[in-house]
Every structure is written in structure tokens, then in C-alpha cells.
Amino acid sequence: MKTQIISIAGKSNSGKTTLLERLIFELNSRGYKIGAVKHTHDGFDFDKPGKDSWRHKRAGARATLVVTDTKIALVKEDSRSDIDKMQTFLGDMDLILAEGFKKQPLKKIEIFRTDSDHKDPLCLEDPHLIAFVTDSEYRPQVPVFGLNDVQEIASFIEKNYLTP
């Protein structure tokens, strides 16, 4: 069975990162292994010019792996779908929480705040919306949680996507 992926969606400055961080902490404290993914633009490259791994890549390596006793960092050319990449590299996790990916066919929890510059939520019509986190009056046909209901959101995820 493939590892479930849930995207935390919302417009910029809606609190996606904070919610993701709090959910990771809560689910980790319950004993689950959580993988996290952040979508970024294609120009992203953490390999520093002059470093050995950068030199390997520049010489033509299709992938470089930096390894320590407890960590790895991989830079690899990979044109598969975002979902395939997540499941390939984080498939040993109990759950993958992704930030963003609002246009991908992933289960989504949208966060929408009334104090943001945005007038309307993004995903109300998305068939993949599984929950909505808000301080607004919006009530879509999915479970709705308050901005600080992290334990309740974690319990919802645990019951529906983690417990066999």
C-alpha cells in the first residue's frame, strides 16, 4: 500500500507552514513517522558552487547523494510527477504531509484566515478537499476545524488516514 499524502493548501501567508509544523509535532508525539514536502520553484538548488557534490553534478552526474551517519541529501534529475517523487523518496513514512501542491490531485486540508489579504478560499470546489481550517464563517461539506484545533485535526488524520 502506498503512503498516504495530504496537502496543506492555502494562499500565501495563510498559516500553512505553522499548521504543518504543529501537525508534524503532534503526529510525531503519537508515534507516527511523518515525511514533509515543500513545493518550490524549479530554480531551487541547495548545492553550493565549488563543493564536491556541486562539482560532481556539474561534471554530469544525474544524481548526487551526500551521506553522514544520520542524514542524507539527494540532488537528482527527476521528471516524474510530484506525487510519484513523494511516494518514491518518502514511502517509508507513515504519512506524507505536503505544503502547497494545490493543483495536484491530492487529499487537501485548506487553511483560510480572515485576517489575510485573500477574500475567498481556494479549494471549496476541489473534490480532494478533506477538511477545512478557518476562523471564518465558511462551512464546506467537509469537517471544519478552528485555527488552533491541532489535536483535533491530528485525530481526524489519524482516524481516517493512519489507523488500518
Residue 96, classed as helix, strand or coil, is strand
pTM: 0.88
The answer to the question of residue 64 being in a domain is no
The answer to the question of residue 150 being in a domain is yes
pLDDT digits (tens, 9 = 90+) for 45-78: 566 787 777 788 788 888 888 888 998 888 888 8
The answer to the question of residue 53 being in a domain is no
The answer to the question of residue 58 being in a domain is no
pLDDT (0 to 100) of residue 44 = 59
110/14 Cα distance (integer angstroms) = 9
The answer to the question of residue 86 being in a domain is yes
Q: Which residues of the chain have pLDDT under 50?
A: none
Instruction: Calculate helix-pair angle for 16-29, 150-157, nearest 10 degrees.
Output: 70
Total domains, the chain = 1
Please tell me what DSSP assigns to residue 82.
Answer: H
The answer to the question of residue 85 being in a domain is yes
The answer to the question of residue 61 being in a domain is no
The answer to the question of residue 29 being in a domain is yes
**CATH code at position 36:** 3.40.50.300
Residues of the domain holding 87: 5-42+79-162
24/27 Cα distance (integer angstroms) = 5
pLDDT (0 to 100) of residue 52 = 79
Q: Which three cell numbers stand for residue 62?
A: 544525474
